[in-house]
Amino acid sequence: MIHIVLFGPPGAGKGTQAARLVERYKLIHLSTGDIFRRNIKDSTELGKLAKSYMDAGNLVPDEVTIKMLESEVEAHPRAKGFIFDGFPRTEKQALALDSFLTSRNEKIKCMLALIVDDAELSARLLNRAKTSGRADDADPEVVANRIDVYKRETAPVAEYYNKHGKYAEVYGVGNMDDISKRLFKALEEHEQ
C-alpha cells in the first residue's frame, strides 16, 4: 500500500495533480473537500453540519472529519493506496491518521507539498471563482479567511511530517505536466 498526503494552500493545484497521481500509481483519491461538497449536494446530515463551516471558510470540526475519512478508507478494501487531499489539515487529524493507519499495519509514505506564492494563489482563486460555482470561492472575505486558517492551523502539519522524515516539496508553478513530473520524481526518490 502506498499512502500519500498531497498538501498545499487553497489554489495550489492539489485536485489537478491528484488526478495525475491516481492515473500513474492507481491509487484512490480522497478529497475531504469533495466529500463534504457531495454530502451538501445530497443534503445528508453530514452535509448539513459541514455547510456552515465551509461557507465561512472555517474548518469542519476534527471529530467529524476524522470519522468521515476513516469510513471512506474502510469503504475501499481493495485499494492499492490512497492520495489524501485536504487531509490532514490540523495536527490532531495528522495524529489520528497515523494511529488509524498503524492499527491497519500501514503508514504514510510521504507528504508531497505544492509550493505556490501568495500572489499566484490569489490570482488562481479569483479565476476559479468564475467557474467553480463554489460559494467559498466567490466571496473575497471567505477566501481570505481560508488562507488565514491555512497559515494558522494547516501549515504546521507540514512540520509534523518533516519531523518524521516524510516531507517533500515541489514547486507548483508552471506547466502542469512539468509539475506532475516533479511530483513523480519526488515520490520515487523518497526513501520510505
Which residues partner with 190 through β-bridges? none
Stretch that binds ligand ADP, among 40-48, 54-62, 109-117, 160-168 (CB under 6 A): 54-62
Cβ-based neighbour number of residue 70 at 10 Å: 16
Among residues 30, 54, 97, 114, the one that binds ligand ADP under rule CB under 6 A: 54
- Tally of helices (H runs) and strands (E runs) in the chain: 10, 5
Q: Does 160 bind ligand ADP (CB under 6 A)?
A: no
CA nearest neighbour of 170 among 122, 111, 126: 111
Q: Measured from the CB atom, is 65 or 180 closer to ligand ADP?
A: 65
C-alpha cell at position 159: 512540520
Q: Does 18 bind ligand ADP (CB under 6 A)?
A: no
Residue whose C-alpha cell reads 487531509 in the numeric block:
87
89 catalytic? Reply is: yes
Q: Which of residues 120-149 bind ligand ADP (CB under 6 A)?
A: 136, 146
Q: Does 84 bind ligand ADP (CB under 6 A)?
A: no
Q: Measured from the CB atom, is 2 or 5 closer to ligand ADP?
A: 5
- C-alpha 69/C-alpha 39 separation (Å) is 13
38 catalytic? Reply is: no
Catalytic-labelled residue, pool 37, 109, 146, 166: 146
CA nearest neighbour of 168 among 151, 181, 182, 152: 182
Judging by beta carbons within 10 Å of its beta carbon (0-12, 13-18, 19+), is residue 155 exposed, middle or buried? Answer: middle
- C-alpha 168/C-alpha 68 separation (Å) is 27
Stretch that binds ligand ADP, among 38-46, 59-67, 168-176, 183-191 (CB under 6 A): 59-67
Q: Measured from the CB atom, is 87 or 161 closer to ligand ADP?
A: 87
Among residues 7, 82, 87, 167, the one that binds ligand ADP under rule CB under 6 A: 87
14 catalytic? Reply is: yes
182 catalytic? Reply is: no
Which residue, judged by CB position, is nearest to ligand ADP in the bound state? 33
Catalytic residue annotation: 14, 89, 128, 134, 146
